[in-house]
Amino acid sequence: MRNFITLVTGLIFGIGLIMSGMTNPAKVQNFLDFFGNWDPSLALVMGGAIFITMPGFWLVQKRKSPFFEKLFHFPTKSDLDFRLLLGAAIFGIGWGLGGFCPGPAITSILTGSKGTFLFVMTMILGMVLAKSLVVTLERNRDV
């Protein structure tokens, strides 16, 4: 049951990304292009999602635990560190350059587009590199 629910949850997320237009890199770049043919659609994607998650998360957090786990796994960091700022800045450059963020890129992997496939492969490589760097940084800090 749990496995089926997780699969369908991913499917709903993917359908949402497609319907909203997030899987079209041109639409993302047009949202970011205020001085061109600006397409404000993506503001509504974010707005529509937050309209559900803000009250939804608040209600869910009234529970002591989720259905299938002992505890909620919320991010624990609260300080603004160098990693957060540099990572977000680099992420934004890539997002603007390719028009894909991780969810829409993975969702689009079966469309047969070579460019999309290539993007997902280098994205995974970038993730592995970042993880390796974080492991090294944390090891050096602890020494």
Kindly identify the residues of this chain, within the stretch 11-40, that bind another protein according to CB under 8 A.
11-27, 29-30, 32-37, 39-40
Phi, psi at 112, each rounded to 5°: 90, 5
93 binds another protein (CB under 8 A): yes
In terms of CB distance, is 37 or 143 closer to another protein? Answer: 37
| Nearest to another protein of 78, 140 (CB atom) | 78
Q: Which of residues 111-140 bind another protein (CB under 8 A)?
A: 111, 113-116, 118-135
| Residue 94 near residue 110, CB atoms below 8 Å | no
Position 109: which residue type?
Answer: I
Residue that has been written with the tokens 């909203």 in this structure: 20
Q: Which of 112, 105, 95, 102 is nearest to 23 (CA)?
A: 105
Q: How many CA atoms lie within 13 A of 21 on its CB side?
A: 15
Of 69 and 143, which has the nearer Cβ to another protein?
Answer: 69
**Is residue 9 a contact point for another protein (CB under 8 A)?**
yes
Does 41 engage in binding with another protein (CB under 8 A)?
yes
Give me the residue label for tokens 């999309």.
Answer: 116
CB of 7 to another protein, least distance (A): 5
For residues 8 and 3, give the distance between their C-alpha atoms in angstroms, rounded to a whole number: 9
2 contacts another protein (rule: CB under 8 A): yes
Question: Is residue 71 within the footprint of another protein (CB under 8 A)?
Answer: yes
Q: How far is the CB of 52 from another protein (least distance, A)?
A: 3
- CA–CA distance, 30 with 22 (Å, rounded to integer): 11
Q: Applying CB under 8 A, does 64 fall inside the site for another protein?
A: no
